[in-house]
Amino acid sequence: MTAAELAAISARAYIYMHPWAEADFAASLAHPTSVLACGGGAFVLGRVIVDEAEILALATDPAQQRAGQGRAVLAAFEAQARQRGAVQVFLEVAASNAPACAFYLAQGYAQTGRRRDYYAKPGGGRTDALLMSKALT
């Protein structure tokens, strides 16, 4: 997937936070630590540094949601991260994004912390970020 395609999916999917711009995706994809898993209108973009992976963005096109695409690309990302030596994966998710929080919990992630007022909401105001992690071993 190109940076433009990733930005288009995130623009449709990110209703709880501001979507990434094409330039943001292009900059992340250009970094050698980046890992991209995509397919079926969904993607996970992250990075692996030494033995830790971090999910930077995950989105599923609303027309493809609830069809297992998010689970599939998350599993593919985790497999790629393991191949690069990661033993743990971390992420941040908007506390107001109940569907995403439930998704990550169902995939074996656990909340490990909270950042108060971390994300700006599209309609104004701020929401907390939940810090989550999962062992990959």
Domains in the chain (CATH in brackets) are 3-135 (3.40.630.30)
Torsion of CA 78, 56, 70, 121, to 10 degrees: 150
Is there a catalytic annotation at residue 104?
Answer: yes
Between 109 and 96, where is the model more confident? 109
CB 133 within 8 A of CB 112: yes
Is 22 in the active site? no
Q: Which pLDDT does position 18 carry in this prediction?
A: 77
With 0.85 as the threshold, say if the pTM is over it.
yes
Query: Residue 133 and residue 27: Cα distance in Å, rounded?
Result: 24
CB within 8 A of 122, min separation 6: which ones?
15, 16, 17, 18
From 5, 14, 7, select the one nearest 40 (Cα to Cα).
5
Of the listed 92, 109, 118, 119, which one is catalytic?
Answer: 92
pLDDT for 65 equals 84
Please write the tens of the pLDDT for every residue from 41-67. Answer: 999 999 999 999 999 999 999 888 888
| One-letter amino acid of 119 | Y
List 14, 22, 52, 104, catalytic entry: 104
Q: What is the mean pLDDT of residues 71-87?
A: 97
d(CA 119, CA 5): 23
Token pair listed for 29: 């994809």
pLDDT band at residue 36 under the 50/70/90 scheme: very high
